[in-house]
Chains A and B, each alone.
Chain A
Amino acid sequence: MNTMCRCFVIVLLTLVFVVFSSAPFSKEATSMAEDPAMEKTVNEISSELRCLVCQNQTIADSHAELAVDLKNQVRDMVREGQSQDEIVDYMVQRYGDFVRYRPAMKPSTILLWAGPFLLLLIGLTVLIVNLRKRSKMVADDAPLSDDESDRLNSLLHAEDKNKKMKESHS
C-alpha cells in the first residue's frame, strides 16, 4: 500500500512538472513561425554570438533572458536588412570581442589561432629529430671486435653453467 502511495505521488509530481515546464516552450514557437528563411539567417547569426550569461552557449542555444532579448534584437536588425557583419559589429561594440563565439582574426589573437599548429610543428620537429638520432645510433652500432665477442661468449657460457648447476642441486 505504501509503495502504491509513493508511486502515485511521483506520477502526480511528474505531471505537474511536465505541465509547468512545457509552458515556456509553447510561448517560444510563435516567433519562429513568422518567416522560416529569415529565421534561418537569425539562427545563423545567433550561433556566432556568445551568450554572456551562460558563457559556453551561443545565444541561439541559450534560453537565458538576455539571450532571448539579443536574439530579438538580431531578428529586428535582420528585418531591417542589416548584414551579418553589421549585426556582429553592433554586438561587439556593446559587449566586446568576447561576444564573438569565434574569435576575430587580428594581431592580438594570432597566437590563439596559430597556437595549435605551432605546437604541432614543434612536436613534429622534436619527433623527427629524435627519430633521426635513434636511427643514426642504430647505424653507428659497429660489429663486435674479436676480444668483445670472446668475452660475450664466455659470459653466456658461464650463465649456462650456472643454470645447470642450479638445476642439478634442486
Chain B
Amino acid sequence: MLRYIVPLVVFLGVAAFLLKGLDLNPREVPSPFIDKPAPAFTLPKLHEPASTFSNQNMLGKVWLLNVWASWCVACRSEHPLLVQLSRANLVPIYGLNYKDAPSDAKNWLRELGNPYVASLSDQKGNVGIDYGVYGVPETFVIDKQGIIRHKVIGPVTPAALDNCVLPLIEKLQKASAQTVVTRKEVEGCA
C-alpha cells in the first residue's frame, strides 16, 4: 500500500507547486521600494524646461508617479484610463517622461490628452534607474510622508485601479501623519 501512497503524495506535492506556478507572473519583479521612501529627484518640467520639480515638494500629499514615454506602446493603451482618472480629480498624477524626446512627448500628449499635473523629463533615464524602472509604464503610489506604498508594473488596468489603487489612495488620504497605512490593508493589492 505504502508503495502507491508515497509516489502519489510526491506527485500531488509537485502538482500543487506547478499549479501555483501557473498563476505567477515572472515578469513582475517585486519592487524593493514598497514601504521605503521614494528616492529624491529634481527634474525639469516637460512643458517648462526652465523650471524644475522636486518630489520633496509633494510631502503632505498622496500622489501618483506614472512612468511613461511616447515610444511605449503599452502606455498608449493605459492612457485613456489615466485621463479619466485625472478628470475625476481624486489624486494628482505626475508623469515621469522616461528616455523620450521632449518634442515627441509633447505631441503625444497633445494627441491623446494630458492627465498629468506636470510631466518631468528624465531624458537619460537616471531617475528611472533610481526608481528601479525596468519596463514602461510603471506607476508608483506615494503617500504623504513620501513613502512608496504601491507599484503597478505595466499598464494600470481598470480592475487594478478599482480594486487596489483607488481604495489604497483613499485610505492613504484619510490617514493622519502618525498612522501607517500599507497596501496590505487593501485586499485587492495582494
The yes or no answer to A28 lying at the interface (CB within 8 A) is no
* Alpha-carbon distance between A98 and B131 when the two chains are bound, in angstroms: 15
For B99, what are the chain A residues with a Cβ–Cβ distance below 8 Å?
65
Once A and B bind, how many residue pairs between them come within 8 Å at the CB atom?
Answer: 33
The answer on a CB contact under 8 Å between B32 and A52 is no
Task: List which B102-146 residues lie within 8 A (CB) of chain A.
Answer: 125, 129-132, 134-135
Interface of B is mostly: loop
Size of interface on B: residues with Cβ below 8 Å to A: 15
Size of interface on A: residues with Cβ below 8 Å to B: 15
The yes or no answer to A13 lying at the interface (CB within 8 A) is no
The yes or no answer to B7 lying at the interface (CB within 8 A) is no
The answer on a CB contact under 8 Å between B129 and A96 is no
The yes or no answer to A44 lying at the interface (CB within 8 A) is no
* Interface-centre pick from B31, B33, B132 (highest chain A CB count, 10 A): B132
* Alpha-carbon distance between A7 and B110 when the two chains are bound, in angstroms: 47
The answer on a CB contact under 8 Å between B29 and A95 is yes
The yes or no answer to A53 lying at the interface (CB within 8 A) is yes
Task: List which A56-89 residues lie within 8 A (CB) of chain B.
Answer: 65-66, 69-70, 73
Q: How far is the CB of B140 from chain A (nearest CB, A)?
A: 13
Task: List which B26-50 residues lie within 8 A (CB) of chain A.
Answer: 26-27, 29-33
14 CB-based A-B contacts, threshold 8 Å = A52-B29, A53-B134, A66-B134, A69-B125, A69-B129, A93-B32, A94-B33, A95-B29, A95-B132, A96-B29, A96-B31, A96-B32, A96-B132, A98-B30
The 8 closest A-B pairs by CB, nearest first: A52-B134, A94-B132, A96-B32, A98-B29, A95-B132, A69-B125, A66-B134, A96-B29
